[in-house]
Amino acid sequence: MNYWLFKSEPHVFSFADLKTQAPRPEPWTGVRNYQARNFMRDQMKPGDLALFYHSSCPQPGVAGVIHIASTPYPDPTQFLPSEEAFDPKATPAHPIWILVDVAWEADLPHPVSLARLRETPALADLAILRRGNRLSITPLTPDEFHAILLLSQTAPTS
DNA sequence: GCCAACGTTGGC
DNA sequence: GCCAACGTTGGC
């Protein structure tokens, strides 16, 4: 079992959107970064758990728990010129980008804000807290995953 | 809207 | 293969 963190801008696609359609999974389209792609291709397994992180929004932070619901397969948006994530170098015979399906797993008792993540010593090495981090998919250690779940058990103090 | 930081691109 | 320029990300 591996653990992951998926970033999304909630005005584009939010944890609430994913919950609304549960148990139907959502194809995680649009990843166009090789490192994030390789995590999906090489390490992700159906049943892996992940945290859904909201970025570029009034309350950035971890919104809920999701699970990986498929093996990797080609991201169809790479072939569609109408898509923002269209890649003219990709063809169905030679796809460049892949995705996995994700599905709602559980709500958190309390969302965990970016500020709380930053002030938690156990999360000092969290990938998304590193300066200049821009990866939309990052691995979590089991300890990090469980530390964030533990944080979510209590309401923020401020 | 600003700015720092990063990945990608493309000329050489 | 280098590296400057560029576009994007994301918090504030």
Proximity of residue A56 CB to strand B below 7 A: no
Mind listing the pLDDT tens digit for each residue in A4-60? 999 999 999 999 999 999 999 999 999 999 999 999 999 999 999 999 999 999 999
In order of A90, A148, A155, A158, the CA distances from A68 in angstroms are: 25, 18, 27, 33
Instruction: Show the tokens assigned to A148.
Output: 């964030």
Domains of chain A listed by start with CATH number: 3-151 (3.10.590.10)
Mind listing the pLDDT tens digit for each residue in A81-139? 888 899 988 999 999 999 999 999 999 999 999 999 999 999 999 999 998 888 999 99
Instruction: Give the nearest nucleotide to A136, CA to C1'.
Output: C9
The reported pTM is 0.95
pLDDT at A59: 94
pLDDT at A158: 62
Residue nearest to nucleotide B3 (CA to C1'): A132
Q: What angle do CA A18, A20, A25 make, to 5 degrees?
A: 45
Q: Which nucleotides in chain B lie less than 7 Å from some protein C-beta?
A: 4-8
Please compute the mean of the pLDDT values over residues A145-156 and round it to a whole number: 96
Instruction: Show the tokens assigned to A100.
Output: 């996995």
